[in-house]
Amino acid sequence: MTFPVLVFALLAALSSLECGRGSTVEDYRNTSCIESEKLALLHLKHGLVDDFNYLSSWDGDDCCAWHGVGCNNGTGHVTRLDLRNGMLRADHLYPSLLDLKYLTYLDLSGNSFDEMKIPQFFGSFKDLTYLDLSYTYFEGLVPHHFGNLSKLQH
């Protein structure tokens, strides 16, 4: 393997490494989150029962450094929220999450939202490409607003 090819292969491998849960190295370099988005995340946390301190890192000014949160390197906007298998509980999720206007990835799988309907506002995340609500124990029908998720791939 020649040196330029080796360097290219190394760079390609590094760019696919994960930092945190599902975010690439590029997503996490020197980012600082947007204040309104940090407040939306804290509002979410306030509404969750976190018996196992899954969200214990959700403290401090930079929400991009919090467990399960991924931000765009250039803008600092929250683009990923990965709370899978957090054993979190709630009987209500607040629509303040709509302040995460650049969210493309949402994974709430493996948490317990017993006796709660799937929030209709989830259908308002127009840039969402990934949504996982498996094993969340939501009840009822999938809201027709999910038809608005035209970019959804998973």
Is the pLDDT higher at 6 or at 118?
118
pTM of the predicted model as reported, rounded to 2 decimal places:
0.78
**Mean pLDDT throughout 111-128?**
93
Average pLDDT over residues 74-81: 96
* 123 torsion bin: left (phi>0), alpha (psi -120 to 50), beta (else): alpha
Reported as a single tens digit per residue, the pLDDT across 133-149 is: 999 999 989 999 899 89
Q: What is the pLDDT of residue 74?
A: 93
Buried b (16+ CB within 10 A) or exposed e, 107-119: bbbebbbeebebb
State residue 91's pLDDT score: 85
- What distance, in Å, lies between the first and last C-alpha atoms of the chain? 37
CA distances to 81, 102, 108, 134, 151 from 118, rounded to whole Å, are: 17, 20, 11, 12, 19
